[in-house]
Amino acid sequence: MAPAVRRLRVRAPSAIPGFGIALGYTLAYLGLVVLLPLSALVFKTAGLGWAGFAAIAGDPRILAALRTSFGVAFAAAVVASLFGLLIAWVLTRYRFPGRRLVDAAVDLPFALPTAVAGIALATLYAPNGWAGGVLAPWGIKVAFTPLGIFVALVFVALPFAVRTVQPLIGEIDRELEEAAATLGATRSRTVLRVILPPLLPGVLTGFVLAFARAVGEYGSVIFVAGNLPFVSEIAPLLIVIKLEEFDYAGATAVATLMLLISFSALLAINLLESWSRRRFGHV
């Protein structure tokens, strides 16, 4: 009998460095750029003690600023996700004059400096502005109110909602919609049972990105918010105010509060997103 020949598996060369190098770079990057600054923030806040931290966290002005920041950011992320889905559907499924221009305009908030966006929104929605002048007779005031914060956050968060779901819409086979119509499904039932399930993970991903972007937004908000304590003051602005007052302990305490709330909210949303991928990922 011929001797058995052991077959050796030859690993194909990879264009990217090996696992060890890539993993080391990843851990070093996360440690130096992410974990180290956050650890320094928590360490600085720990110097206050529980009593000092609780006193700052219980300040009514800080609580009001946190409610404004996270409440308006959540509402803006919801609206951006809904309208982002509609915009992505139109840009993917339809061909019309000026489509490329509209598609490029979606990314405008990425490239536009946030301060420029804030000044433009404040000018547009001021009582004597183009849009503000139209809304003023109806008793609707946008600029220098929480509604102005909402408009600014939707503006900066919308591109995330559009770009995350747009590729998924392109992957949906139109024959599925035709089959549903052939079987007698109404348009609303087709949307709920055929179209939305495979898009839900992307919509949630866009919501997470939009929410994270909105919570940390500063430049475009301060020009259109009015920055009134207990009314339209956001937590990032409060951090800057405390730094200008050389109250570094108070600034780090507010930043730590934002970190804890943001981490908890994003963890909950990511768990929901993971469940949706398991539930609807293969629909």
SS3 277: helix
Residue 126 lies in a domain: yes
Backbone angles phi, psi at 243, to 5 degrees: -65, -40
Count structural domains, the chain. Answer: 1
Residue 225 lies in a domain: yes
CB-based contact 209:160 (threshold 8 Å) = yes
For 219-258, write each residue's pLDDT tens digit: 889 999 888 889 989 999 999 998 998 888 888 989 999 9
Q: Is the pLDDT of residue 80 over 90?
A: yes
Q: Is the pLDDT of residue 160 over 90?
A: yes
Residue 79 lies in a domain: yes
Q: Is the pLDDT of residue 108 over 80?
A: yes
Q: Which of 128-137, 172-181, 230-239, 255-264 has the lowest mean pLDDT?
A: 172-181
pLDDT category, 1, cuts 50, 70, 90?
very low
Residue 35 lies in a domain: no
Residue 56 lies in a domain: yes
Q: Is the pLDDT of residue 281 over 70?
A: no
Residue 17 lies in a domain: no
Taking residues 168-175, what's their average pLDDT? 83
For residue 145, the number of C-alpha atoms closer than 13 Å in the C-beta half-sphere is: 10
**Burial readout 167-198 (b: 16 or more C-beta within 10 A, e: otherwise):** ebbeebeeeebeebeeeebeeeebeeebbeeb
| Domain, as residue range, for 181 | 49-280
Taking residues 20-47, what's their average pLDDT? 81
Phi/psi region, residue 246 (left: phi>0; alpha: psi -120 to 50; beta: rest), is left
Residue 88 lies in a domain: yes
Confidence at residue 12, expressed as pLDDT on a 0 to 100 scale: 57
Residue 192 lies in a domain: yes
Taking residues 51-74, what's their average pLDDT? 91
For 194-229, write each residue's pLDDT tens digit: 888 888 888 888 998 999 899 989 988 999 988 888
pLDDT category, 52, cuts 50, 70, 90?
confident
For 146-159, write each residue's pLDDT tens digit: 999 999 999 999 99
pLDDT category, 66, cuts 50, 70, 90?
very high
- What CATH number has the domain bearing residue 245? 1.10.3720.10
Helices in 126-186 by DSSP H: which ranges?
130-135, 146-171, 174-182
